[in-house]
Chain A
Amino acid sequence: MRIRKYDFDYSRRVFLDRMGKGVMAAGVLSPLWPLIAHAGDVTRAYPEELLSIEAYTRGKIRTGDLITADNVEHVKDLLDPVAYMHVSQMGRQIRIVPTTTDVTRMFPKKYLAATLSNQGKAMLDADGNVVTKEGKPWIGGNPFPDPQNGVEAFSNLTLSWGRHDNSFYAVRDWDIGPDGELQYQYDFCWAEQNTTALVGDGGPYLAGHEDKLRFQSVWFTYPNDSKGTSFLNTWYYDQRKFPDLFGYLPAFKRVRRFPTNQRFEPLVPGMTLFLSDAWAAGDPMLTWGNYKVVGRQPMLGAVSGNWMGSGTNWERPVHGGPKGKTFFETSMELVPEVIVVESEPVGYPRAPVGKKRVWIDTRNMMYVAYVTYDRRGELWKSFEPGYDLFEKGDDRFMDGDAPAWSWTHVQCHDVQFNRMSRFVQAEGVRGGFRSGYDVPGMFDKYLTMQSLLRMGT
């Protein structure tokens, strides 16, 4: 048992004080990253009130409890405004799990190793792109594990979305209408391959593609009228440039080039997910601007206890909403410290989004909540992810020699139209596609115009 050395509001005062002074170091009692580098444990960086929901709520909520409309007021400050509305007004429930103090459970193993070994080697060049001290593209891991401003924080989200050199996500999506009924359902695949900032063998650059950041494709395998629809994005390393976009539409039976600046509209009917929403950093970083750190605080985040395990296809039970179908069952833990960053879509004059606000967990620099506001400043959408180490008792899904770490599910709620898209990273989806990481031959298989044509119908 830890001895309480600090009074209840100590951490809140520290956060406010640091915000006032513009101090950005993570950790309340001691700097966070030296502790992580030393032992991978964050316990000594935070007082108990930031490591225990019982302490934070003075015993009103305990680990294992469900957050419901009856007790959500005790954690109102720990939820983004949309998640609070879900629980307080729409019947959502959230299971509380223990706070993760071992950060090795919050990263893919190689990515954490690269983050630690490459600490201090990143900088922003005159254009705003992340480079090494030698001016080369980034070499892997979080470039700014202890960011000093909003751009550095967003660099961590943008440069490697899935934190593997490549990731293949088999995704199953359900879209819930305002009446709470299922309106649409899609199966799609999402493949991403970094070409720089690689952390595996043969890195840090994919030969011949040093000028790019990643290839990313998405294609639908269900239902019939969407099957075969696919898009291929080629991201340049220069984050001021829009990606190239090629697509295959079944009606056209051929691969064609598409404009790429339309990133604020659904991919398919009924879905609330926009390209811009991916990883809260779906657009090249420098096509957005006015990055501001607007807060530091504890938060409830779905960062552990969320993998469903074998035999479930990694799909999860649902509840809440008018018909009991609106929300995934989700586990959240008390995240000791998040950085709250806002940004505006300065490169998209007619974007319907006025700004986004992102809560980023300082332990792994991954976002735990993300909301957008429309041009009038009204709250519009939330994009709430869940993550986990894919380990449940003896049941594991391996990434090389270690259990995989990845996202498990997302709930994307358009609160203005009251439409919910919720999707899981499934073990597999229609078409025989299965999720995996660092897949050999990913580029040839899924990330070329040739592959779009092959996968088309």
Chain B
Amino acid sequence: MNRARRLPLAVHAAALAVAVAGSPAILALDLNVSGLIRQEMAYKLTGDENPFNQHGNVYNGKTVDNYVHTLFGLPPGITRPDYSESNDWNLQATRAELDIQATFSETLTGAMKVRAFHDWGVYDDYGDPNFFEVPLRGDCGTRLEVCGDDYMIDLPSLYLDYTNGGFWLRAGNQQIAWGESIFFRVLDVPNGLDLRRHNILDWASEEYADERVPGLGVRGSYRFRNNWELEGFAQEFNASIYSNENTPYNIVGAQFVRQEEETFDRVDDEWNFGARLRGQIGELGLQFIAVSRRNPDGVWRWTTSKVNSFTQAGLPDPDLGGVTLGQMLAQTPYEAFTGQGVFTAREWFEYAGLTRLDGANLQRQLDDFPAAKALTAGNGLPTSGVVDIPTSTLVLDAFFSPMLGLGDLRGHIERTYPREHIFGFGMNYMFYGEPDTLLDQLIVRFEATVTPDKKFTNIALGQDPTKETEWATSLVFEKNHRFTERFPATYMVLQWLHRSEADLFGRLVSGYDASATVSPPRGRDHYDAFALALQQPSPTLAWRFDLAVLYDAEGGYLIQPGVRWKPSKSYTVELYANFLDGDNGDAMGTVAWGDELGLRLGYQF
């Protein structure tokens, strides 16, 4: 559907629902309209640029030896063009939200939320990056979204609620959040995340409220025996949405070309299903879930570029005997002559490490793409045992050679969305002790899921995903404690996340700990992270001081101190900083460049 027509249609549908519901039998229509306008900004605290973007590539302007050149006595140095830019801002955007809640009758209500987000693009970046258009639903992320390269407007909520006694049904576009762990998504599996606006680096205490990707669907529950509730949902599948290349919070190397449209179109009419049983037995709260879903984060793999680089570049296409080199190359993952690809084997391994991939394993690619193997063999290069840095360097630098090969190459990848089944349970328990002791009213929460034969991105980007049964658990200690009589209680939460196979972002931990000189990756046995959050309000709650810490057991961290000031009913000011560090051996290394000072100035009505 034409994207320009999609939002008006959605609004029209909502208006129609109001009109239908507003029949004489249910004249109690009441509309509650509120909203906000907010300027959101993040000022860089270091000179580091995002290495996944062309203008932040760590090899920009650097000369690196091409190994094959040294073998042939050619000038060894290869210098990547210097696309470097220096930015002061990571984010400068304006958000507007409009919330409309409609009450049609005692049993029927509805809600619509309009979210508009405009990025002012005040950045010195490479090319003309597109901040919001993604080839999923048309050019946008979800059905109820219109977008352009610097704006998006969507309806994260557009639903009707029907309730009758212990029965509740919500139908329409909605987010679904499950579980009680905050930030660590163990039971919170129904929806993927939209990382286009501020990745996961916005105000930490808002968790994923702005990121969860909504979907059309129905969600209902039935309450029985007062304390138990059986819930189910059926929701159209939507994928997680990653920031585009060369935008400030991009986390996929810009040397890759992401092909997402075709693979998403194969599953865009698929649905996710889930059921949850929740109840309370004394002080013990329990929940059990079962979900069948398409993995919204997806599984990445190499795909054919489908591009004749020679034709595209207006260059003569060498005939290899019935087939041209350009035609052969189009049947491999590579695209040449862009000036945006990988220039040297060293850059290849460096970025494989940054991306938690096995850069040395070219063998997987050669086996998966016959054209690649043929081209490799045709140049007298090895086509077996290409699983270590020396052998792979030989092959890579041969192709990367601007004299002997093709020069820099971009690699094409695609994302598939395998169906998976997740089973889990959660519990909470309130401890009681002597008043004012550590144990008194300490809440302990535990959640666990198992995903049998979950398919992960093969760290060699092979066609066959890696299958592992993944266990995820979180243990949470939560406590409100009043340290002084003068100030309200301090909210404290300590969480531990354990995942058997993948990290916080779903990347296999076997891809960890590689570098320009280390590949295959050393890997990790499992992933463990800890989170600590503190909130201290002032006596009137006009001020609130926050601290959120995410610590990877292997050393990376995110530390976010913040202060929220609400001086009046209309205005809110939020100031926070993100201090990040890490390397290829932990999860936070991916965003370690991003130290920033964030400010949000909001007006609500």
Contact = CB atoms under 8 A, between A and B. Distances in A.
B207 A224 contact: no
A242 interface: yes
A268 interface: yes
B103 A432 contact: yes
A71 interface: no
Interface string B266-298: 000000000000100000010000000000000
Interface stretch (B158-166, B368-376, B497-505): B158-166
B97 interface: yes
A242 B435 CA distance: 11
A349 B479 contact: no
B482 A262 contact: yes
Interface string A429-447: 0111100000001001100
A209 B489 CA distance: 31
Contacts of A260: 441
B485 A351 contact: yes
A374 B485 CA distance: 9
18 contacts: A184-B569, A208-B226, A253-B177, A253-B209, A253-B212, A254-B179, A254-B188, A256-B180, A259-B430, A262-B488, A262-B489, A264-B488, A350-B436, A374-B485, A448-B223, A453-B168, A454-B168, A454-B170
A259 B435 CA distance: 12
A265 interface: yes
Contact of A270 (B102, B157, B161, B541): B541
A295 interface: no
| Size category, B interface | 35 or more
Interface of A: 175, 182-186, 208-209, 221-225, 227, 242, 244, 250-254, 256-262, 264-266, 268-271, 347-352, 374-375, 417, 419, 428, 430-433, 441, 444-445, 448-451, 453-454, 457
B605 interface: yes
Contacts of B541: 265-266, 268-271
Given A185-B569, A259-B441, A450 B540 contact: no
Contacts of A450: 166, 168, 221, 223, 229
Contacts of A265: 488-489, 537, 539, 541
A223 B34 contact: yes
B101 A431 contact: yes
A454 B175 CA distance: 12
Interface string B1-42: 000000000000000000000000000111010111000000
Contact of B486 (A185, A352, A444, A451): A352
A350 B99 contact: no
Interface of B: 28-30, 32, 34-36, 97, 99, 101-103, 106, 109, 111, 113, 157, 161, 163, 165-166, 168, 170, 175, 177-180, 182, 188, 205-207, 209, 212, 221, 223, 226, 229, 278, 285, 428, 430, 435-436, 440-441, 443, 478-480, 482-486, 488-489, 537, 539-542, 566-570, 572, 602, 604-605
A457 B157 contact: yes
Contacts of A417: 539-540
B35 A224 contact: yes
A134 to B, nearest CB: 25
Given A450-B168, A457-B99, A261 B35 contact: no
Given A186-B569, A227-B34, A441-B165, 12 more contacts: A184-B568, A221-B101, A254-B179, A259-B441, A264-B482, A269-B540, A269-B541, A270-B566, A430-B32, A430-B34, A432-B101, A445-B106
Contact of A183 (B166, B285, B478, B569): B569
A431 B488 CA distance: 30
B180 A251 contact: no
A455 to B, nearest CB: 9
B540 A259 contact: no
Contacts of A451: 163, 168
A41 B200 CA distance: 67
A448 B36 CA distance: 29
B518 to A, nearest CB: 40
CB-CB nearest 5 A-B residue pairs:
A432-B103, A432-B30, A265-B488, A253-B177, A269-B541
Contacts of A262: 480, 482, 488-489
Contact of B103 (A185, A225, A349, A431): A431
Contacts of B165: 441, 444
Contacts of A227: 32, 34, 99, 101
Contact of B207 (A244, A252, A264, A441): A252
A445 to B, nearest CB: 7
